[in-house]
Structure 1
Amino acid sequence: MNSTLALLVIAAVIATASAFGVHTPVSGVSNGSGMTMRARECDLLGKKPNRQARVVTFSHKRNKKVQHVNLQTRKYFSDELGRSVKLRLSTKGLKTVEKYGGVDAAAKKFGLDLKKF
């Protein structure tokens, strides 16, 4: 008897939440287009946004701010894979690829599997 009452209460809560436009999170489900969101992160170096930054105003108030990574999308041809690879790299990552003479050498140095891209 208690379990049926609990189920009715849960069903009422879900119905009320959906009536007011509240979305309940469901894990493992992507959006309707089949695409998944990627983090703002450099594929090669792993640079992430700095969330500890502050802005100091004229009145010396301190406000939090996010310093994002300068990400650039580039296509490189991988000789090992025999195809093009599309990467989201920071500008430092672009310099690193140039330094090592290609995307294959840079990926080998930093342990990046290019088959995923």
Structure 2
Amino acid sequence: MLTKTLSWTAVCAAEDVVPHTGVCALVEGRHVAVFRLADDRFAAIDNIDPKSGASVLSRGLVGSLGERVVVASPLYKNHFDLATGECLEAPEHSVRVHAVRVEDGRVLVALN
């Protein structure tokens, strides 16, 4: 079985992202939304809203629906699970989730 080696890209300083908000980053030509959660964990998903095609998910409101931590798209208000990328209202509009970590105070993202 082949294992994919992740290629990590530094996108910003961890302190530059306010808790409960997101930022947009360009990683290997792909628009990625990176979110800082309440407990200083980070999550990353595609930034393109699949319904509109606009690069806006990083501007959405971060919150929770039940046990799920989600972001609400600022355009159509669809909720995207930050752990799975699933669009709760329309699963066919789900987005990709990307690996994210903090190292030496920098946020790094690797496309999945």
**TM-score normalised over the length of structure 2:** 0.29
Computing the radius of gyration over CA atoms, which structure comes out larger, 1 or 2?
1
Larger helix percent: 1
**TM-score normalised over the length of structure 1:** 0.28
Point out which structure has higher relative CO (alpha carbons under 8 A, 6+ apart).
2
